[in-house]
Structure 1
Amino acid sequence: MTSLDLCSDSLDGLSVGDALGAQFFVPGSGLAALLDGDPPAGPWPWTDDTEMACSIVAELRGHGGIDQDRLAARFAEHFEPYRGYGAGAVVLLRQVRQGVAWRDAAGAAFDGQGSMGNGAAMRVAPLGAFHAGNNRTAALQAWRSAEVTHAHPEAILGAVAVAVAAAEAGWSRLTRSRPEPAELLDVVLAHLVDGRLHAGIVLARRLLGVSVAEAAYELGNGSQVLAFDTVPFALWVAATRLDDYPAAIHACVEAGGDVDTTAAIAGGVVAAYTGSGPGGIPAQWLARREPLPTTYADKSAAWSRGR
């Protein structure tokens, strides 16, 4: 497999998780039917998680890495408010469209503190999968991708954590060696510094044997829309269900909260390991996801032909 193959699978996992998760904003709503193999009727619209992930993937496919100015322009060009962007992202991307430098816009957010939101983490798993086998590069590129919209260290580290997890998942797929849940989280922790995000993932490691409900209660389920309220639980899900994509999405739906985002993060990481084969993204789910943006349609066709 190539880096683009892994990236493509991760994008599919992210976008299906995002689109399906968006159908379940009421905790427990429809979960029983989903578990019985009866997901909602399609098509499932994807949200800002997928829209921004597609911009990152376009950068990787066209240039092999993140140029921050170019990525900011992509984000602004493809920004559609109805996709569920947060208020802060709406303001920032409109400013970038109007010619404000992205660094100034991101730095001015939230009275100069920068955003601590989960937006940088929700879109970054395909970048990590692209750099499978090179966690350091995945971390650095994730940092660069995050800075375009999020100046707060907690949000940036949230993106780093997800990218490293996806890079490790992709490498484990290539080497056919599934890491134990604690091993995956240890790799992530090795790329972080002390803070609330780090503390959350340390706690996630201690909770590997608990139920979904307890993990969500202790770690958060994204309901605050903050990186440290979202990423620890999503990576707990990915670590404990790395070889079972449907189970990972079921866990995110069961937990409630910001379901599309936790499912996008967990789905992107897990799909880097599973792809769409056994334990991977169900074909029925992929068919019900709204097609990816036509701007990127050539990408999917080219990657499919190359497999």
Structure 2
Amino acid sequence: MSTDSLMRATASLYGLALGDALGSQFFVPANRTHLTAHTPPPGPWQWTDDTEMACSVYRVLADHGSVDQDALAAGFAAHHDFDRGYGPATGRMLRLVREGGDWRALAGGLFDGKGSWGNGAAMRVAPLGAWFAGDLDEAVRQAELSATVTHAHPEAIAGAVAVAVATAAATQPDLSPGRFLDHVLDHTPLSMVRDGIAEARALLTIGDPLLAGRTLGNGRNVSAHDTVPFTLWAAARHLDAFEAAFWATASAGGDVDTTCAIVGGILGARVGLDRLPATWSREAEPLPEWAGAPRHPSRS
């Protein structure tokens, strides 16, 4: 394990958890005026399944240096908290794994043997992209391994690959929005996800997140191809501005906790732990101790 890999992955995990926790607050009707005003609602903010699963990805990388699929499946199952908002298919699968089921058969058997094309593999993968930031091809391979533990459909795998590569690419200095998305397009397999990212590339001159969300999808259908292209558009438009990226993402509505988790994980890796908004970080629920992540400096 390199210190740089761990530091990047840690910053990404905290950025993901912050986006997830704050984004989840806007499912509460009373908080929607805060969204319109771009002001955070009162804390504390609880994170969801996005962060819980990302913590398992992070822990497996810290323990093994790469994706051990059996360890990752065991981690997902052991730490599965039904109340964190898991989708029904994933929740049932993890319960069966906990009871001794084979994750390979269970993941591959979902949805009449096609596998899930949901956004769950993409929502948790950013710390992995940060870990393998120095090798985009390896980030692709490891993202595929991480995705197939629960999401065997090619679209879900493509979504995970795209977010992992985006996170890895985001750590590069002097990165233009167009070049950022070009890196992702160069490494994402042919898919509806990739088609959406190409459309996001063409929409970079448009600054309206509502229009971008309507065009690209905002996660409302919780599929990878309805989620990932818009999040990469939002990250590309605000590569060095975490707060602006968050508000642009959240204002498009849809699956707000997940879209904000993805964008937060990408930009957390880019800006680093010390440049995440400290006042926001203090309101977010702390990461679980079992994840093994260093304590956030805002809580020191």
TM-score norm. by structure 2 comes to 0.94
Work out whether 1:69 is the aligned partner of 2:63: no
SS in 1 for 2:188: coil
Deviation at 1:28, TM superposition (A): 5.3
Partner Cα separation in structure 1 for residue 190 and residue 33 of structure 2: 36
State the match for 1:264 in structure 2: 261
Which residue does the alignment assign to 2:6?
A: 4
- Across the aligned residues of Structure 1 and Structure 2, the Cα RMSD in angstroms comes to 1.5
Structure 2 counterpart of 1:205:
201
Distance 1:57 1:39 in 2: 27
Q: Secondary structure at the match of 1:95?
A: helix
Per the alignment, residue 286 of structure 2 pairs with 291
Say whether 1:31 aligns with 2:35: yes
Displacement, 1:135? 0.6
Quote the offset at 1:29 in angstroms. 4.2
Is the CA contact (8 Å cut-off) linking 1:115 and 1:151 kept in structure 2? Answer: yes
The separation in 1 between residues aligned to 2:7 and 2:287, in whole angstroms, is 16
Partners of 1:276 and 1:283 within 8 A in 2? no
The answer to whether residue 181 in structure 2 is matched with residue 185 in structure 1 is: yes
Q: Tell me what 1:252 maps to.
A: 249
Contact conserved, 2:287 with 2:293, CA < 8 A, in 1? no
Give the deviation of 1:100 after TM superposition: 1.1
* Counterparts of 1:69 and 1:290, CA distance in 2: 28
After superposition, the Cα gap between the structure-2 partners of 1:6 and 1:265, relative to the gap in structure 1 and judged at 3 Å, is same
Q: Are the structure 2 counterparts of residues 235 and 145 from structure 1 closer, same or farther at C-alpha, using a change threshold of 3 Å?
A: same
Deviation string 1:263-300 (CA, Å, 9 cap, x unpaired) is 000110011111244xx32101110000111212x431
How many Å separate the matches in 2 of 1:81 and 1:131? Answer: 30
Number of residue-to-residue matches in the alignment:
292
Measured after TM superposition, the shift of residue 240 of structure 1 is: 1.0
- % of aligned pairs identical? 53
Shift of 1:169: 1.1
Secondary structure of the 2:293 match is helix
Name the CA distance, whole Å, in 2 between partners of 1:156 and 1:288: 33
State the AA in 1 paired with 2:223: L
Cα distance in 2 for residues equivalent to 1:143 and 1:250: 30
SS of equivalent residue, structure 2 residue 221: coil
Structure 1 gaps of 5+ residues are none
Q: Deviations over 1:235-259 (max 9, x none)?
A: 1111111100001110111000000
Q: What is the match of residue 225 of structure 2?
A: 228
Helix, strand or coil at the partner of 1:228:
coil
Residue matched to 2:211: 214
1:300 maps to what in 2? Answer: 294
State the Cα distance separating 1:114 from its structure 2 match.
Answer: 0.3
1:93-122 per-position Cα deviation (integer Å, ceiling 9, x unaligned): 011111111010001101111000000000
Which residue number in structure 1 is paired with residue 122 of structure 2?
121
SS across alignment from 1:2: helix
Q: Give the structure 1 partner of residue 139 of structure 2.
A: 138
Query: 2: distance between equivalents of 1:141 and 1:228?
Result: 20
| TM-score, normalised with respect to structure 1 | 0.92
Whole-angstrom distance in 2 between the partners of 1:201 and 1:29: 31
Contact 2:200–2:216 under 8 Å retained in 1 = yes
CA distance in 1 between counterparts of 2:259 and 2:179 reads 21
Cα drift, residue 162 of structure 1: 0.3
Query: Once the 2 structures are TM-superposed, how far is the Cα of residue 191 of structure 1 from its aligned partner?
Result: 1.0
Other structure's SS at 1:23 match:
helix
Q: Does structure 1 conserve the Cα–Cα contact (< 8 Å) formed by 2:15 and 2:264?
A: yes
Aligned partners of 1:245, 1:42: CA distance in 2, in Å? 19
Q: Report the Cα offset of residue 200 of structure 1.
A: 0.4
Partners of 1:108 and 1:276 in 2: CA distance: 39
Which ranges in structure 2 are unaligned for 5 or more consecutive residues?
none
Instruction: Give the deviation of 1:194 after TM superposition.
Output: 1.9
